Structure 1
Amino acid sequence: MRRRDSRPSTPPRPSTTFVSLTGPAGNIGDALIRRETLEWAAGTSDELVAYTGDAPDVWLTQLSIPDDAVVLRSKKSVPRWLWLLVTAPRHPVLVFEAGEIPLDRGNGVRELVFLAETLIVRLKGGVVVRPPRGIRAPSQPSLGIHRLATRLSQVTLWRDAATLATARTGRLAPDIGFSAGIRPGLDWNERTDLIVSLRGARPLPDERWIRAVRDSAERAGLGIRTIVQVREDEDRARELAELLGGVFEEWGDTDPLVQEERLRERYDAAQLVISDRMHVLVLAALSGAVALELVPQPTAKIREAFAAIGLDRVSVDASTSDPEHLREALRPTPERAAEVVERVRGAEASLAGIRQMIRAGIRRVRA
């Protein structure tokens, strides 16, 4: 007769998810997409380890990082991050942060670290998730290292077709910001604002631009309001309010989460939002406003990210557009707003499906 082993069985080690959540606390758009990244990571394991770099306390609050998470808060903690990856139990999950990836020559060492992280997780039978991202300034060797790391990842998503073509692997997906929640906003006829939010690092718009925006607001019966979604743009918003004869709303000492909600309420009441900040336009679209990038020689980033959800005519080059083209671009209509809402709903549904697919994949790996 076989003797029963009376030794207690060893309980399985808790599973772990690692998520990168770095970013500047003064940028609500960056906080938004990192928070949505955290939503993808949350609940996929027993333990959560978050790397936030040199972010201040307010960043943790903005992202709603759980109190029981292990938070690594400085670049000096990178060795500990790597050690926790190496010593993690089988089947860990690694979720990279969403956003833009600089791949210029100075980022080769960083990409080697990310490749090492990917290899560690794959060798431990885990899952690597790269949420929708864009590539900026691709160059060798950074691009080659990054391509290898993405091929080794089970989930690699890009927020625009040009980046997908550069990466040569993965699939197209909406920017993760489109999962931040659709808001009903006010009825079209109750919306009273034309909102402007431009980067402070670029030159002021010229007189032709100023006149076109003022005329558009007057024709539509809208008041002009300048707002601040990135702290470094505050002085520019003040200048634009003076030039446009509009109302300036400072960020000042307002708590970032309060400021975010205040901005979203402003978008709820806007017919048209003009910006060269992508996530200003994403939040505006989620509130049912017509989103428009109107600047001289705009970069392709905004145009291509919105094209990925099937929405064109978002980006207009103010330096080459004739007066008639400018008037048409600056004319908000309920039909255009309805098109925006339809595309945003599709993007939200697509992202929800991707999130479910990722969770199902993790369950299969651990089964």
Structure 2
Amino acid sequence: MPQVFAVGRGAYDNIGDAILRRQLLDWLREVGTLNVYVGASPDGYDADLGLQPQDVVHRSLRRWYAAALAEAVRGRAAYAFKPGEIQLTLVGLKEHLVVLPLLGVLRTRRGRAVRVGVGARSFAPLPRALMRPSIALSDLTLWRDNCTAAYLRGSSMPDLAFGEGSSDVELGRAGTLRDVLVVSLRGDGDRPYPSPETLEGIREFARRRGLTIWAVTQVTKDHDRARRLADALGGEFLGWETAVGHDVQERALRELYRRTEVVVSDRLHVVIAAFTEGAVPVAGLVEPAPKLERHLSTVGVDDVQLDLSSRDAEEVATRLAELSQRRAEFFDRLLEARTGLRAIRQQVQETVGAAGSPRRRPRSRTDRARVHHLGRAGEIAGGMTQVLNGYLAGRFDRVDVDLLVTRSDPGAVVSSAARAARAGLSLARLPRDSSVVAAHLSAGGSFLREGTLLRLADRLGLATVAHLHGSSFAAFARRRPKLVRSVLGAADHIVSLSQESSDVTRTLVPEARITLVPNAVAMGRGESKERLVVFGGAVGRRKGVDVLLEAWSGVDAAGWRLLVVGPVVDPDVVPGGDSSRAGSVEFLGAVPHAELLELLERSSVAVLPSRGEAMPVFVLEAMARANAVVATDVGGLAEVLGDGRGAVVPAGDVVALREALQRAVSDEEWRARTAAAAVDAARRNYSTETIHPELEKVWLDALERRSLREGS
């Protein structure tokens, strides 16, 4: 195992510094022997860092640095920059300048250097130039906010502190007692104090919600300001006396944060620490807090500022109430940030674990990776094919895409085997340093065929990604865990479409390799609507067409038509054959995909009463074209259509489906409101503009992981 050198020293009077460093040290400890410089740390600081008996703790910077150079010369060392904020001044950049000799030795002796979770305080041009040599000599650099990433060039990541606190399960647990409102205010410098109106607004909000106000201290220099704030608000006070250790103070704070409904502060890590224990985050008390705004915005938590110095008390209370209503939205973003951190943890560990291995030739800025998808495309029924069509038609900023055809029509066994064999020969000719193989897997024959090719690509040293599709994948994985584990074990990264697929996959392969990325759809034109209800998909029992027809027969839908579009797989559910008309129902049979999209442009309601789905493209396409969607509670549909974006009913429930369709065709206000919410959600969460960059990250991450694994 490599000797890993890291700086654990931080501001001894600041809990936030320990939170950041603890997270990274925990990651590094799993892949190497930690050599940590902590300086003359006070009581409780080392414990709060989570240092373990096996860690080598250094009090002397000179001896720690000498040991790092010696191990670097031996060829099995790695260095991790300390996370947190840097001031872009000569003094602020001392770590990044002083370790340049160490980075040079690491570069020549197969060592590794990582810089993750670092953010800038100022954005002047000269310090940026001073940082460039350090960045160039590092193997992995990820900045903790989008502004720093744009300024210093590179990729951003969530602040490491988002990974601390209560577990995902605990955060999602209903019924947790929340009876506290936490406030905290910076006490350093000549900073303004909240106005009487702001203080009264906070008191009024707390009174209405039955909350006890607590003023807290997470940085010792804020102690006196917090006491004054507690007195002014008539609240409780959690200070930090110098005799209290870091670890004791953090435990006390987190116990309080786990009872907190809302946290209001201009301290970044007060807000994040309370947020990760379940509190709604509110930034600022007196003036704008741009530092908080950019770090929260990086994880998708926007518009949480409380710049209220010129407003009256009622406006303050109203603003706090508005933000508290966004709890579900905020915690969705927090869970997404943690998913991102798990992937970054894997990157860090793979980079550091590769210390001592030769490096691959770095790809030029002008090099473009090429993603080779395994499957089939064209006018073929099935969501997987439509997803591939979308990838092939899409425009990606950093990768090119193509298709290696692996099968023919269903039942054409010989032809499909020949196509798969040709695809295998093509894999052997792909360049390893710029190719990614993306296998699209469902269940049964698909999983065996494309899974075999995925394993071949892995053995050839190519970067590999498994895209999981189909309503039956989760059940298939539970029935055939050994097969699924062996195939997915060959994937550098795995893309799942639903939480169910992610959960079952997590039991078979490391969680850090799994990313939930929904299907992407192009947005519609927003044309005027007709009285049409459209079903799209295979016409049979799995898609619930039998339930749909029975439910529709009882709907009072004068002037409305139900269009059933798709190939017929269960003929007995269609009265009169594959293409027929029965009253207000029309069976159109299989139509070109473009024609289905045109129908969705015209229709007002879309319906999918399936008995099983993963992430149906039809529903997303209907949402993107301003349809009010009625669907069943299968796969990820309840989440997609929640919060007023559609109607969800139990699968197979004729009465519930009839009632939902009745409302959809008779309540114009509900229909308009639901369609508007659906369009907004499609644009934010499922549009190609949103999803394709996320896919690019996954594909390029697979290439980077493979580069580290191959080490040549």
Query: TM tier, shorter chain?
Result: 0.7 to 0.9
More deviation, 191-200/247-256: 247-256
Given that residues 43 and 245 in structure 2 are in contact (C-alpha distance below 8 angstroms), is that contact kept between their aligned partners in structure 1? no
Residues 79/349 of structure 1: CA separation in 2 closer, same or farther (3 Å cut): closer
Aligned pairs for 1:1-367 within 5 A: 15-45=2-32, 47-77=33-63, 79-81=65-67, 83-87=69-73, 89-107=74-92, 110-139=95-124, 141-168=126-153, 170-183=154-167, 184=170, 187=174, 190-201=177-188, 202-252=191-241, 253-319=243-309, 326-331=316-321, 335-364=325-354, 366=357
| Alpha carbons 2:197, 2:311 under 8 Å: kept | no
Are the equivalent residues in 2 in contact too, given 1:178–1:344 (CA < 8 A)? yes
Q: Aligned-pair distance for 1:219?
A: 2.0
> TM-score of the superposition, structure 2-length normalised?
0.46
Q: Offset of 1:258 from its aligned partner?
A: 2.5
Partner Cα separation in structure 1 for residue 142 and residue 315 of structure 2: 34
How many pairs were matched up?
351
> In structure 1, what is the Cα distance between the partners aligned to 2:273 and 2:252?
12
Distance in 1 (alpha carbons) for counterparts of 2:62 and 2:193: 39
Counterpart-to-counterpart distance in 2, 1:54 and 1:146: 28
Preserved CA contact (<8 Å) 1:97 1:130: yes
| Structure 1 residue 328 displacement after superposition | 3.3
Deviation digits for residues 11-64 of structure 1 (CA, Å, limit 9, x no counterpart): xxx63111111112221111111111211221322x321122343353222212
**How far apart in 1 are the matches of 2:122 and 2:323?**
36
CA contact (8 A) 1:105 1:139 kept: no
CA deviations over 1:118-174 (Å, ceiling 9, x no partner): 222222111111111111224454321212311321211111111011101x31100
Contact residue 2 and residue 76 of structure 2 kept, 8 A = yes
| 1:205 CA displacement | 1.6
* Native 8 Å contact 1:160 1:304 kept in 2: yes
Distance 2:335 2:163 in 1: 9
- Choose between structure 1 and 2 for higher RCO, CA contacts under 8 A separated by at least 6 residues: 1
Whether the 8 Å contact between 1:200 and 1:233 is mirrored in structure 2 is: yes
| Cα deviation, residue 265, structure 1 | 1.6
- Is the CA contact (8 Å cut-off) linking 2:68 and 2:77 kept in structure 1? no
Summarize the Cα distance change of 1:15–1:82 in structure 2 as closer, same or farther, 3 Å threshold: closer
SS at match of 1:274: strand
C-alpha separation between the residues in 2 aligned to 1:337 and 1:68? 41
SS state of the match for residue 100, structure 1? Answer: strand
Q: Report SS of the residue matched to 1:224.
A: strand
Contact 2:263 2:274 in 1 (8 A): yes
Q: 1:96: how far off? A: 0.9
Verify the 8 A CA contact 1:310 1:343 in the aligned structure 2: yes
CA contact (8 A) 1:281 1:291 kept: yes
Is the Cα–Cα contact under 8 Å of residues 192 and 286 in structure 2 kept in the other structure? no
Tell me, in whole angstroms, the C-alpha distance in 1 between the residues paired with 2:351 and 2:66. 27
CA distance in 2, matches of 1:74, 1:235: 33
Q: 1:108 to 1:178 in 2, by over 3 A?
A: closer
Quick check: which has more Rg, 1 or 2? 2
Distance 2:349 2:268 in 1: 28
RMSD: 2.4
Q: Judging changes above 3 Å, is the alpha-carbon distance between structure 1 residues 278 and 225 closer, same or farther for their aligned structure 2 residues?
A: same
Unaligned runs of 5+ in 2: 358-710
What's the TM-score once normalised by structure 1's chain length? 0.87
The equivalent of 2:397 in structure 1 is: none
Report the Cα offset of residue 75 of structure 1. 4.2
- In the TM superposition, residue 188 of structure 1 has moved relative to its aligned partner by 5.8
Contact 1:105/1:140, CA 8 A, preserved across alignment: no
- Other-structure match for 2:491: none
The one-letter code sitting in structure 2 at the alignment partner of 1:245 is G
Q: For residues 339 and 94 of structure 1, do their structure 2 counterparts lie closer, same or farther at Cα, with a shift above 3 Å needed?
A: same
| Structure 1, unpaired ranges of 5+ | 1-13
Q: Which amino acid aligns with 1:328?
A: T
Percent sequence identity over aligned pairs: 33
CA contact (8 A) 2:271 2:282 kept: yes
The answer (yes or no) to whether the contact 2:262–2:324 under 8 Å persists in 1 is no
- Displacement of 1:266 in angstroms is 1.0
Q: Structure 2 vs 1, CA of residues 308 and 322 (structure 1 numbering), >3 Å: closer, same or farther?
A: farther
The change in CA–CA distance for 1:364 and 1:67 in structure 2 (over 3 A counts) is closer
Deviates more, 1:312-321 or 1:276-285: 312-321
Q: Report Cα offsets for 1:217-271 as digits up to 9, x if no partner.
A: 1222211111221111111111011100111123334432222122112111111
In structure 2, what is the Cα distance between the partners aligned to 1:343 and 1:113?
Answer: 37
- Cα distance between partner residues in 1 of 2:104 and 2:38: 21
Distance 2:65 2:178 in 1: 51
The answer as to whether partners of 1:118 and 1:152 remain within 8 angstroms in 2 is yes
Decide whether the 8 Å contact of 1:238 with 1:248 is kept in 2. yes
- Contact 1:306 1:312 (8 Å CA) reproduced: yes
- Contact kept? 1:192, 1:271, Cα under 8 Å: yes
* One-letter code aligned to 2:142: L
User: For structure 1, which segment, 245-254 or 105-114, has the greater mean C-alpha deviation from structure 2 after superposition?
Assistant: 105-114
